[in-house]
Structure 1
Amino acid sequence: MVQNSDEFRRRILSFPAIRPCESVSFPTLLASLINLSRSICSFKSKTFFTNKQNAANSIRLIEALLVFLEELRDDTWPSFEDSSTVSLCLSELHFIFQKLRFLLHDCARDDARLWMLLKSEEASSHFRLLLNSVAVALDVLPPPESDAEARELLELMRKQAAESNPEVRREDRRAKRRVLRITRRFGRGIAPEPADLRRVLEDLRIGSWGECGDEIKCLESEFGQECGTAEKRAVPFISSLIAFLVYCRCTIFSSIERRKNRPVLCETDDRSVKVLNPDDFRCPITMEIMSEPVTLSTGHTYDRSSILKWFSSGNHTCPVTGEKLMSVDLVPNLALKHLIIKKFQENRIQFDESRPSSMSVDAGSVAAEQAMALLANFLVRRLVVGTNEEQNKAAFEIRLLTKTSPFNRSCFVEADAIPSLLGLIRSTDQALQRNAIAALVNLSKHPRSKKIIVEDKGLEFVVEILNDGLTGEARQHAASALFYLSSVEDNRRKIGRAPGAIQGLIGVLRDGEDRGKKCALAAILGLLMHPENHWRVLAAGLVPLLANLLRSFENEDLVADSLTVLAALATRVDGAVAIVSAEILPITVQILNSSNSRSAREYSVSLLLSLCNNDATDVVPILVKNSSLMVSLYSLIADGSPRLSKKAASLIRILHAFNEKSSTSLDQEQFVRVW
């Protein structure tokens, strides 16, 4: 089968066929049709998990047609060259064969077995329609006058195509009923018997954790594409199938193995660990990306416009917890805003602070929700009473399930997973510690979890891993956990006062890999929202460390993150003095003049602005003397984003004001001397 980019973009059981153009020559059309037929015949060696007989009958028909077409090419095609009827017939067959190839590919996909089983009737209908179309096309095709054997073969193929009656096998119908029966049980909150799950997996010949994971990935792709449609009719159905497979993967298979580069227990589950994912950028009220995140006294973050509407409607409670607010003061969550802006810039999307981007809420079904609640209880029991290997697998599964789904996180919080995970992060087994702390990081994104972690002495445990974790990845995850915990104001104070917390973050920043450094910088940025922590990070030696790192950083993301932290420190006089003393000023100007990163340039300007406002005596005269700086600032006004242009303009005004003041003083001094 010819592989192309369209194959990977199309949905299952969609057939984006293209009719040959009318101007194509007869030899070219015939040669292309023969190649297409050979591609279809190559499926004979494939394994079909559903519609097996229908696929086999279709391939046999195309094999016979291939013989006919090759004879037509080798012996008699010149006699048909001027026949428009023959060309029209071959063109129609070409169009049908394209669709048939897509259909056979779908039926043979080893990562879409469950979906094709549930779509077996639809697939069978497609076989019936395509074979009937072949019969119609062959009826139009005039038989070769000079070749009796070819005429006989053509008549046989016509009859075979016309009499074909594709239908769903009894075994497929039975297996489909078993799956639907189990999903209905999920909908009633009843856990299925393991024997029933194994029987379905045997029907589909899914025999490993990796194969089950492949099926889930395929269904998630279908889920995402279905969510993009207007009707979204299949969304609940696909959601329940994903839940069925996830439940099987977690409860039936005892080991996790690599398959098609899927993650294994002892490895990280993503190549580039992100501090946040898009789900964390949503306002809990509108479920849209926040343009101006602000935090209430309860520690929960909302978009400013949506929480103000909540208050103006007469509500004086936290929308998430329902807790009555003693104060409605809104604290800007600058750390989160910085990360949202960075995410937009990474994806080359303009960040509009005046209007949040729309993002739909994840859809699901009752069966999927109940299945996840049952699975959460099952995995938490494994954490408590399982063997070391079972605990490790359970922690890994929780890590995967809570990575992107807020609903899954709520299920595991309700199932009381946090205390068990806190105990396991102190394990002497590297893989178990790593998976437990990673799962805990994901759960720490849930609103209730932050309070649970702190109350269960989790902060002490996390700081312990931050300093003495068995692997660099474990220490990195500990830094991420502190970032999420720091979204609550009281936690920022507690983390800052916790022995070894800030020193541990400095250690990860100094010795960790790039991903660990990013996590540490994000956590430090969050802690700086509490005033007490400014002097603590200064005393820990953060500024000289960042100065050294800026001189050696090749990763532009880390440069931008470092400048963001420095800009936050420079908002206070002691921070500005420390930054100037560490000789970071010339490095910042160099980055502004030479960096290709918009984030790095923006936070360079932010840092210079803060330094000018808090240490103007020493900084502004130095900047005024740098002629290249003005060139860079004016170019940012012309070519930068509105946000960056505004900052550049503010810095230019400060420098111009100093110049004018200096010029006036000099003129007055000259006037006095002359007089």
Structure 2
Amino acid sequence: MPPPSRRRMLELPAVCPCEAIAPAPLLASLLALAADVAGLRPADAAALPALRGAARKAVRIAGLLLAFLEAVAASAELPGDDAVLGLSELHVALQKLRLLLADLARGGARLWVLMNAELAAAELRVVLGSVATAVDVLPASVAGAGAGASAESRELAAMVSRHAWRAAARAGPDPEDGRAARGVRSVLAGFAAGVTPDAEDARLVLARVGVDAWSDCAVEAAFLEAEMLERLETGGEDDNDLVLVAGLMAFLVYCRVVLFDRIDDSGFSSGSSSISSKAAASAARPPARCAPAWVSQEALQCPITLELMTDPVTVATGQTYDRSSIKKWIKNGCRTCPVTGERLRSAELVPNLAARGIVEQLLLSRGVPLREPSASSSKHRCAVDKTDAPFGAAAAGGVRLAAAFLVARLSRGTPEQQKKATYEARKLSKRNVFHRACLVEAGAVPWLLHLLSSADASVQDSAVAGLLNLSKHPAGRRALVEAGGLGLIVDAVSVAARVEARQNAAAVLFYLSSSPEYCEEISRIPEAIPTLVRLARDGAYRGRKNALVSLYGLLQCPDAHGRAVSAGAVAALAALLGPAAGDGADDRGDDLAVDAVALLARLAEQPAGARAVVASSELVTRLVDFLGEAASRSAKEHCASLLASLGLHGGDKVLALLGKLPSLMPALYALIADGTPLAGKKARWLVNEIHRHYEQRQPPAAAPEHAMGDRVIRV
């Protein structure tokens, strides 16, 4: 099983100091650790969701331990080598205590801590027992029993040992913790039976853990979702905690949907999905440690992409960028610093651990774990796919009740209630397959289609995004088509109020075009293909990308080729192969060019499409250049297929044109040697056809040197 991308809650790894470490630096490190733990104020401990009394005692013990260590450090005689073992054990115990208290105070994990209060109490008992044992085994010269020790250190050592042993014996959840946890289990049992819970019971639980706003609820749910997906990514689908995580997430989703009438999120009014994509952008209660107040979020954005850096690195000029962004910049041949314009003397990228730590604290304060840069998006998608079945009856019942409530609001609610319901449907269907199935089953699709005509742009935006999420589910696609929504989606591509809504509508068509039956229905809509062609020609990067993949799906239907040619698809795709196709310093232009070549290759499979491509000799020349320039094997394969189709349908005229292009033959021979099997097959056929054409048209001796070389080579 691969290791998890981060430390899980209530797992307390610690690093044991080196056996050869000197007592002085070990004592200095212990002082810093004890000061760190003792720095948790009593008011902070009182705000914990569980174990408040036990946490306050642990903090007081850390304060006593700090005073004892300060007395030892101030004594005339520093600890000797015989104290290293005891001090090392104390160091390990303090590391664990710091991690445990940080977990208890972690923002976004309050409900999870409440439901795991017994486990946390058990860990606290072990840690406090370790502290007491470590103090007891310290040599007499350190613990206060020796002749050189002060009376103060002797008294402090005895107090630490006595209080730690007593706290270890009595550490446990508060009585209120048990009542709140039983309330949650009662609600989950009701979910499993399909019973709507009493709203007041749910509110009492939320009040106990300090969740008193929609944004708090969203942050808690985002944390649990991250926990679930990580367990699924790392193969932990049999984890006993998974059913509890899913049930708690359903509880929070239900509370967020039903109990809160107002969404206190700046992204809600604008229709943004900021919370669903990165969890809360709202002011959730910070944990004991959060990003420094003097650091602005803008300072943590990569200057190239303007997105939050997840793997910050520093270049030779001292500027910091996200690793993936600056690597693309350098790969594209730019050897200057994007900010200062100075030439980079070295391409070395040094990890900026300080910036990474601040970003991690910022995300954790919002209940979002910082994923490791190596975390694969395909693993994440695989984890999402594993959520197609509910993990436990409670999770299934809670989500079904929330979905039914949402559909009732979509159909009969006031305009404000409909606005919130569309946003909730969009958020609920974002990353969980079972949630999508529940919304489709509850009948959300027809009402979301109805709200596409809303005069409120944010409602329209959320409705399109929700339909996009539901169209990823087979039942959602079926419900959309049966509700007569194809024409409405096509209209949204061109007339939706916001650019994001138009882009999402085009993506809906992509998912629908995966079915040949739906593909034919879409292609028969007169405006469908022309609308996508206009978006591919005039849209922003994401809109173009969605339009291209949707057109590629629609061209499964032979009848769609002629409509695409008539709509000007060839000219629009040719423009994406031009030098100004990119959108910035990254490789978006190359990405669109590859998609354009793939789409041209599909168009050229039919004679009408091939004739439209051949009509522009400039385009043919650019395609040959692209074959030599393309970096990926798949791009070369698409280009080889396209040129072979042109040769097949264009006849001798096209073969003559291709034979005159000097860069074609080396590129084709390179494909035959190193390309994919399909690319090699297409290249071999094209080479032989060009040779055949010139053998028939003119004697070999008269063949142009730049076209055929000194002799013909059959392949």
Amino acid paired to 1:266: S
> Which of 433, 455, 458 is the matching residue for 1:431?
458
Instruction: Name the structure 1 match of 2:330.
Output: none
The verdict on how the C-alpha distance between 1:632 and 1:39 changes in structure 2, with shifts beyond 3 A counting, is farther
1:373 correspondence with 2:391: no
Please report how far the alpha carbon of residue 7 of structure 1 lies from its aligned counterpart in structure 2 after TM superposition: 12
Partners of 1:624 and 1:655 within 8 A in 2? no
The answer to which of 617-626 and 212-221 deviates more is 617-626
Match 2:229 to one of 224, 229, 244:
224
Amino acid at match of 1:369: A
1:191 and 2:171 equivalent? no
> Which has the larger displacement, 197-206 or 46-55?
46-55
Is residue 264 of structure 1 aligned with residue 268 of structure 2? yes
CA positional deviation for 1:393: 1.0
Distance 2:384 2:425 in 1: 29
Aligned mate of 1:15, from 12, 16, 32: 12
How many residue pairs were aligned?
580
Deviation at 1:100, TM superposition (A): 0.8
Q: Which residue of 1 aligns with 2:547?
A: 520
Given candidates 207, 214, 217, the residue that maps to 1:209 is: 214
**Closer, same or farther: CA 499–557 of 1 in aligned 2, 3 Å:** same
8 A Cα contact 2:436 2:470, kept in partner: yes
Corresponding residue to 2:164 among 161, 172, 176: 161
Distance change in 2, residues 1:225/1:446 (3 Å)? closer
* DSSP-derived class of the 1:9 partner: coil
Q: Does 1:546 align with 2:553?
A: no
Out of 392, 408, 412, the residue aligned to residue 385 of structure 1 is 412
1:351-370 aligned at under 5 Å gives the runs 360=386, 362=388, 364-370=391-397
Partners of 1:119 and 1:507 in 2: CA distance: 55
Q: By how many angstroms is 1:371 displaced?
A: 1.3
Report the CA distance between 1:488 and its aligned residue. 3.1
Given the alignment of the two structures, is residue 49 of structure 1 paired with residue 49 of structure 2, yes or no? yes
The corresponding residue for 2:705 is none
Q: For 1:121 and 1:271, how far apart are their aligned partners in 2?
A: 31
Which moved further from structure 2: 629-638 or 208-217? 629-638
> What CA distance in whole angstroms lies between the structure 2 residues aligned with 1:490 and 1:8?
42
Paired letter, 2:533: I
Alignment match, 1:34:
31
SS at match of 2:526: coil
Deviations 1:370-405 (A, max 9, x none): 111111110001011111111011111111222233
Q: Specify every segment of 5 or more residues in structure 1 that has no aligned partner in the other structure, as ranges.
A: 1-5, 274-345, 351-355
TM-score normalized by structure 2? Answer: 0.76
Tell me the distance in 2 between the aligned counterparts of 1:111 and 1:634.
58
Q: Would the alpha carbon gap of residues 30 and 627 (structure 1) be closer, same or farther in structure 2, given more than 3 Å must change? A: farther
Q: Mark the CA change 1:88 to 1:427 in structure 2 (over 3 Å): closer, same or farther.
A: same
Is 1:564 the equivalent of 2:598? yes
Equivalent residue in structure 2 for 1:119, among 116, 120, 136:
116
1:416 aligned to 2:443? yes
State the match for 2:521 in structure 1.
494
Return 381-390 or 217-226, whichever deviates more.
217-226
Structure 1 residue 347, shift from structure 2 partner = 5.7
Residues 203 and 190 of structure 1, relative CA distance in 2, 3 Å threshold: same
Distance 1:533 1:211, change over 3 A: same
Check if 1:70 corresponds to 2:66. no
**Shift of residue 94, structure 1, vs aligned partner:** 0.8
Residue 149 of structure 1: aligned partner? 152
For 1:36 and 1:645, locate their aligned partners in 2 and report how far apart those are by CA, in whole Å.
58
* TM-aligned CA distance change 1:594 to 1:43, over 3 Å: farther
1:465 and 2:469 aligned: no
* Cα distance in 1, alignment partners of residues 9 and 386 from structure 2: 23
1:557 and 1:600 in contact (8 A); partners too: no
Looking at structure 2, the residues matched to 365 and 491 of structure 1 have their Cα atoms a distance apart, in angstroms, of 34
Q: Structure 2 residue aligned with 1:575, among 606, 609, 614? A: 609
Deviation at residue 77 of structure 1 after TM alignment = 4.7
Match for residue 628 of structure 2?
593
| Alignment deviations for residues 104-129 of structure 1 (CA, whole Å, 9 cap, x no partner) | 00000121000000000110111111
What is the CA distance between 1:587 and its match in structure 2? 2.2
Structure 2 counterparts to residues 504-515 of structure 1, below 5 A: 504-515=531-542
Other-structure match for 1:280: none
The question of whether the paired residues in 2 share the 8 Å contact of 1:226 and 1:234 is answered with: no
Aligned pairs for 1:313-332 within 5 A: none
Question: Counterpart amino acid of 1:553?
Answer: A
Structure 1 residue corresponding to 2:692, chosen from 650, 653, 661: 661
State how far apart, in whole Å, the 1-side matches of 2:691 and 2:276 are.
49
By how many angstroms is 1:466 displaced?
A: 2.1
Per-residue deviation, residues 308-343 of structure 1 (Å, max 9, x unmatched):
xxxxxxxxxxxxxxxxxxxxxxxxxxxxxxxxxxxx
| CA deviation vs aligned residue, 1:191-219 (integer Å, no higher than 9, x gap) | 11221211111111101111111111211
2:701 and 2:666 mapped to 1: Cα distance? 30
Equivalent position to 1:615, from 642, 647, 650: 650
Distance 1:371 1:361, change over 3 A: closer
Q: Which blocks of at least 5 consecutive residues in structure 2 are unaligned?
A: 278-374, 583-587, 703-715
Residues 471, 139 of structure 1: alpha-carbon distance in 2 compared, 3 angstrom cutoff: same
Matches of 2:673 and 2:263 in 1, distance apart? 54
Structure 1 residue 666 displacement after superposition: 8.1
Name which of structure 1's ranges 615-624 and 396-405 shifts more when overlaid on structure 2.
615-624
Residue 61 in 1 paired to residue 61 in 2? yes
In structure 1, how many angstroms separate the alpha carbons of the residues matched to 2:15 and 2:270? 46
Amino acid at match of 2:592: L
Cα RMSD, aligned residues only: 2.9
- Compare 174-183 and 543-552 and name the one that shifted more: 543-552
Question: Is the deviation greater in 542-551 or in 584-593?
Answer: 584-593
CA distance in 1 between partners of 2:519 and 2:201 (Å): 49
Matched, 1:175 2:180: yes
Q: How far apart in 2 are the matches of 1:169 and 1:357? A: 36
One-letter amino acid matched to 2:611: V
Moved more, 22-31 or 503-512: 503-512
Once the 2 structures are TM-superposed, how far is the Cα of residue 638 of structure 1 from its aligned partner? 6.5
State the TM-score, normalizing by the size of structure 1.
0.80
1: CA distance, partners of 2:384 / 2:523: 36
Instruction: Give the Cα separation in 2 of the matches to 1:550 and 1:63.
Output: 67
Q: Is the 8 A contact 2:10 2:103 kept in 1?
A: yes
Q: Distance in 2 between matches of 1:271 and 1:166?
A: 37
Q: By how many angstroms is 1:511 displaced? A: 2.5
Q: How does 1:222-301 map to 2 (within 5 A)?
A: 222-227=227-232, 228-229=235-236, 231-258=238-265, 263-269=267-273
Of 637, 648, 656, which aligns to 2:679? 648
Contact 1:634 1:648 (8 Å CA) reproduced: no
The one of 636, 640, 663 aligned to 1:605? 640
The structural deviation recorded for 1:189 is: 0.2
Residue number in structure 1 paired with 2:86: 89
How far the C-alpha of 1:409 sits from its partner, in A, is 2.1
Secondary structure at the aligned position of 1:191 is classed as coil
